[in-house]
Amino acid sequence: MYKYNEFDEAFLAERNAQFRAQVERRIDGSLTEDEFKPLRLMNGVYLQLHAYMLRVAIPYGTLNPNQMRTLALLAEKWDKGYGHFTTRQNIQYNWPKLRDLPDMLDALGEVGLHAIQTSGNTIRNTTADHFAGAAADELTDPRPYAELIRQWSTDHPEFQFLGRKFKIAITGSSADRAVIKAHDVGLQVVEQDGKVGFKVIVGGGLGRTPMIGQVLREFLPQADLLPYLESVLTVYNVLGRRDNKYKARIKITVSENGIDTYRAMTEEAFMAIRGQYDGTDQQLLEEIKTHFQAPEFRSAPTDAFDAAYANDPVFRAWADTNLHAHRAEGHAIATISIKAHGQTPGDATAEQMRVMADLAEQYAYGELRISHQQNVILPHVHKNDLPAIHATLKTHGLATANIGLISDIIACPGMDYCALATARSIPVAQEIATRFDELKMEHDIGHLQIKISGCINACGHHHVAHIGILGLDRAGVENYQITLGGDATETAAIGTRTGPGFAYDEIVPAVERIVEVYMAQRDSAEETFLETYRRIGMEPFKAALYPEAQKKVA
Amino acid sequence: MARAFTPKVITANDLLEGDVIYFTADNTWTRNLSEAELITDEAEAQLRLIEAEKQNIRIVGAYLADAKAGPNGPEPTHFREEFRRTGPSNYFHGKQEAEANV
């Protein structure tokens, strides 16, 4: 894991001291809100419906146990005892007070965490595959590149006033767990002729105009990463629209100008910029890479795991859903669900955070990950430790066996917290999870991703959900539109709307009807919801959702 | 005929606490919507908003929100304002919690 050097520490301390002074000047009246707002946003401080909100970056989703304990400390000391993990590998605190925010940032700084550029029209937290450095199917750990991008983009003077926010995601695997095709820039580490480089995707995004990213470069040599990214951003700064906020994201720039024009201009800029890089960035990258060396995985029998798996059905159910193949023999990646049925997706209490930190320290080589799917991961676990881990998780409400299932729902904060929201998302997620838990169907249903956004900005990734739900305000009443067939992986697709929306009390029954159609139509238990949808299309689902409309046609 | 004016209250967030506050008839701020001034005249509403914004050193983002008269003072007409005066629906936090502790 990356460890701050003296420069990083001094930079962050100075930045936090600046913000402390800015807060004081706002309180004593020297700064107006108009002057203060951009300053607080640069440091992750929003004002939401009921209170301030602090959004802390978890770079490439990686935490060490002490960092997790500090997140717990913030929750306990300055908030209401919990934190909310988001779809962009951030954690949000919903109840801080203005005077406490500088202290919170200082506490974060002590463990190498910050809230810089978690808001505003800048390059945001670079997200990564949450199984990075651990997955069996990975080519190489993408996190050193993400750290390089973090250092390059933090306070970069040219990119502090972009036309709009800019999000980068990176994966080192061909199985995309980082939704790289729905980011402004998506990077996939690839290999060509024995050399490491990147496939560069540009112009993806969700929000009011969802688009799947397009390939800008099939292969970019490793050494060209920063000059090329700088070229992409430079072209965006020139071509990107600043006249209309809703047309300002790079997806619109690429789509209005065409990918070929965008590519030609990027390559031209690249020719000029490339020479400005003298190799210092590559030296830095080599140094960063030393921080990300894999732990020395131990070699041991897996008898305790095998016995628990054979004899304990509860453990077996958890192992079947929450484990993923690790690259080291005898090891597994364990996902801890923070989506117990009926709970708020992505929320963890201070106590739960400490339990997970302790488990990481004791069993997981000191590493934790946060996924964009709002769960926590122990990326490196020897299988023989899993029964003990599971036993501890059970006593803290963390052993829910639902990863990838219908109750593993992504939900944005929605109207319960967010000033931009047009409807609630959290209670809808809670009710769907509770309902399918009561039906005892979810393991039978299998892999099915529901994602819920409480407004058109799509923080809940509803466009790329198998079943997407979008909450809107229709004449002063909450109304929910459904999309089907979205896909957040390497076969990314935007879902298709079923038709008219549903009232708040109709949305759970509507989801149930969709699932009933799938269960009746699937050709075997192995055919997933998405596969069935792709085979049979929208019509059978529409017929079940809108029986009245069908009658009229008949 | 011009459309009838929907009555308004002035609401904002407190600078230090960040919580929801409402402007009263005597130019102070209250945490209870029921104690807010219900403004029924459109021109008056704009003047009262300017008056409220004079206190921008202590408040953030004052705006006019639709409201209606109720037996115990102003009430919200839209669910967003209902959440703002109550708190989130997933936890008993925010104003509902504060009221329970009175």
Cα A129 off chain centre by: 9
Under an 8 A CB cutoff, do B17 and A426 touch?
no
- Residue A554: pLDDT over 60: no
Residue B44 lies in a domain: yes
Rounded to whole angstroms, what are the CA distances from A327 to A262, A268, A381, A388? 38, 40, 11, 22
pLDDT of residue B1: 57
CA torsion through residues A397, A401, A407, A411, sign: positive
Mean pLDDT of A274-298: 96
Mean pLDDT of A458-474: 98
**By the CB < 8 Å criterion, does A77 face chain B?**
no
**By the CB < 8 Å criterion, does B92 face chain A?**
no
User: b/e string for B19-51 if b means 16 or more Cβ within 10 A?
Assistant: bbbbbbeeeebebbbebbbbbeeeeebeebbee
Strands (E), A26-73: 45-47, 52-57, 62-63
**By the CB < 8 Å criterion, does A341 face chain B?**
no
- Residue A452: pLDDT over 80: yes
How many helices (H) and strands (E) are present in chain A, helices listed first?
A: 19, 21
Cα A174 to Cα A178: distance, rounded to the nearest angstrom: 11
For residues A92 and A160, is the Cβ–Cβ distance under 8 A?
no
Structure tokens at A130: 């949450």
B92 CB-near residues (< 8 Å, 6+ apart): B100
**By the CB < 8 Å criterion, does B85 face chain A?**
no
Q: How many CB atoms lie within 10 A of CB A198?
A: 25
Cα A123 to Cα A187: distance, rounded to the nearest angstrom: 15
For residues A424 and A448, is the Cβ–Cβ distance under 8 A?
no
Instruction: Count contacts between A and B (CB, < 8 Å).
Output: 70
Cα A381 to Cα A369: distance, rounded to the nearest angstrom: 13
Interface test with B, best of A46, A50, A349 (most B CBs within 10 A): A50
pLDDT of residue A549: 79
Tell how strand A185-192 and strand A450-453 pair up: unpaired
Residue B86 lies in a domain: yes
Q: What stretches in chain B show pLDDT beneath 50? A: none
Angle, CA A213 vertex, CA A207 and CA A216 arms, to 5°: 145
Percent of chain A exceeding pLDDT 70 equals 99
What is the residue range of B60's domain?
A: 8-97
Percent of chain A exceeding pLDDT 90 equals 98
| Distant-in-sequence contacts of A79-83, Cβ < 8 A, 24+ apart | A80/B91, A80/B93, A81/A349, A81/A350, A82/A347, A82/A348, A82/A349, A82/A350, A83/A347, A83/A348, A83/A350, A83/A353
Residue B39 lies in a domain: yes
State the smallest CA–CA distance between residue A450 and chain B in angstroms.
19
pLDDT band, very low/low/confident/very high, at A553 (cuts 50, 70, 90) = low
For residues A380 and A426, is the Cβ–Cβ distance under 8 A?
no
Closest residue in chain A to residue B14, using alpha carbons only? A51
Residue type, A554: A
Residue B84 lies in a domain: yes
Residue B30 lies in a domain: yes
In chain B, residues with a C-beta closer than 8 Å to the C-beta of A430 are 90
Residue type, A205: G
**By the CB < 8 Å criterion, does A417 face chain B?**
yes
Cα A181 off chain centre by: 13
pLDDT of residue A552: 67
Residue B102 lies in a domain: no
- Residue A492: pLDDT over 80: yes
Cα B9 to Cα B85: distance, rounded to the nearest angstrom: 12
**By the CB < 8 Å criterion, does A32 face chain B?**
yes
Closest residue in chain B to residue A78, using alpha carbons only? B17
Mean pLDDT of A268-281: 97
Cα A483 to Cα A501: distance, rounded to the nearest angstrom: 10
Cα A47 off chain centre by: 22
Interface test with A, best of B90, B92, B93, B99 (most A CBs within 10 A): B90
**By the CB < 8 Å criterion, does A54 face chain B?**
no
Number of domains in chain B: 1
| Model confidence pLDDT, tens digit, residues A121-146 | 999 999 999 999 999 999 999 999 99
Structure tokens at A5: 């050097």
pTM: 0.96
Q: Which candidate, B14, B73, B76, B2, places its Cα nearest to that of B41? A: B2
Structure tokens at A147: 């750290």
Cα A272 to Cα A253: distance, rounded to the nearest angstrom: 21
**By the CB < 8 Å criterion, does A49 face chain B?**
yes
Residue B47 lies in a domain: yes
Q: How many CB atoms lie within 10 A of CB A342?
A: 14
pLDDT of residue A210: 97
Mean pLDDT of A65-78: 98
pLDDT band, very low/low/confident/very high, at A341 (cuts 50, 70, 90) = very high
Radius of gyration for chain A, computed over Cα atoms and rounded to the nearest angstrom = 23
Under an 8 A CB cutoff, do A417 and B88 touch?
yes
Structure tokens at A410: 């992504």
**By the CB < 8 Å criterion, does B44 face chain A?**
no
**By the CB < 8 Å criterion, does A184 face chain B?**
no
Under an 8 A CB cutoff, do A426 and B88 touch?
yes
| Model confidence pLDDT, tens digit, residues A511-539 | 999 999 999 999 999 999 999 999 999 99
In chain B, residues with a C-beta closer than 8 Å to the C-beta of A35 are none
The residue count of chain A comes to: 554
A227 CB-near residues (< 8 Å, 6+ apart): A270, A273, A274, A276, A277
Under an 8 A CB cutoff, do A27 and B16 touch?
yes
**By the CB < 8 Å criterion, does A504 face chain B?**
no
Nearest residue, CB atoms, B18 vs list A51, A80, A426: A51
Residue A107 half-sphere exposure toward CB, CA atoms < 13 A: 19
Q: Tell me which DSSP letter residue A165 carries.
A: -
pLDDT of residue B99: 81
Under an 8 A CB cutoff, do B93 and A32 touch?
no
Under an 8 A CB cutoff, do A99 and B16 touch?
yes
Bridge partner list, A202 = A185, A214
Residue type, B70: G
In chain B, residues with a C-beta closer than 8 Å to the C-beta of A424 are 89
For residues A250 and A237, is the Cβ–Cβ distance under 8 A?
no
pLDDT band, very low/low/confident/very high, at A345 (cuts 50, 70, 90) = very high
Under an 8 A CB cutoff, do B18 and A96 touch?
yes
In chain A, residues with a C-beta closer than 8 Å to the C-beta of B95 are 50
State the smallest CA–CA distance between residue A53 and chain B in angstroms.
9
Mean pLDDT of A206-215: 96
Under an 8 A CB cutoff, do A415 and B80 touch?
yes
Looking up tokens 């397009």, which residue turns up? A214
Q: φ and ψ at A246, to 5 degrees?
A: -80, -5
Looking up tokens 């930079």, which residue turns up? A11
**By the CB < 8 Å criterion, does A451 face chain B?**
no
Task: State whether residue A96 is helix, strand or coil.
Answer: coil
Residue B57 lies in a domain: yes
**By the CB < 8 Å criterion, does A27 face chain B?**
yes
pLDDT of residue B102: 60
